[in-house]
Structures are given as structure tokens and as C-alpha cells.
Amino acid sequence: VPMGVLSCMKYLMFIFNVLVFAGGTCLMGVGVWVAVDPAGFQDIVAAKAVLSAGAWLLLAVGIALSLLGFLGCCGALRRSRPLLLL
């Protein structure tokens, strides 16, 4: 396998993992917003019954995606197979 292909794959994996990390961070931010100020979020979204459960779900998913994205970035830059498989 040519070295240029491996280098390109490394940076593509890094970019993908940065996007996953950014998405997880955004979800985490929305989850914190809903947990701290549910009235402000209720003005935008009409759903009231599942608001607190949704906030905790957003936080959990956001934290998981951020962690996976961060570990993926580290694994792509260091070419660490265990980090990428995690």
C-alpha cells in the first residue's frame, strides 16, 4: 500500500472523528441547556412531557459521542489500532 494512501486515510479518519466530536459536543450543549433552562427550550419545542428525560438522553449521547470522537482522533493521529477499534 503506497504511503500517500495511508496518510490520506489517517487524515480522513481524523476529520471524521473531529466531526463526531463536534456533533457530540453540540448535543451535550443542548442537553445542558434543556436541563438548566427547560422553559426557554419549551418556547421552541412544544413537547413538554419528555423534556427532562430528553435532556438527560441528549447529555448521555453527547458525552458518549464526544468521548468516542476524541479517542478516534487520538487513534487516527497515533495510528493506534486499539483506540480506533474502541
Would 84 be classed as within a structural domain?
Answer: no
Q: Which pTM value belongs to this model?
A: 0.73
Tell me: pLDDT of 84 over 80. Answer: no
Q: How many domains does the chain contain in total?
A: 1
List pLDDT tens digits, range 15-29. Answer: 988 999 999 999 888
Would 7 be classed as within a structural domain?
Answer: yes
Q: What confidence score (pLDDT) does residue 1 get?
A: 62
Q: Which domain holds residue 66?
A: 3-79
Would 69 be classed as within a structural domain?
Answer: yes
The grid cell for 2 is 503506497
How many CA atoms within 13 Å lie on the side-chain side of 29? 6
The whole-angstrom separation of Cα 44 and Cα 38 is: 10
List pLDDT tens digits, range 32-69. Answer: 887 787 777 666 665 566 666 777 888 899 999 999 88
The grid cell for 65 is 459521542
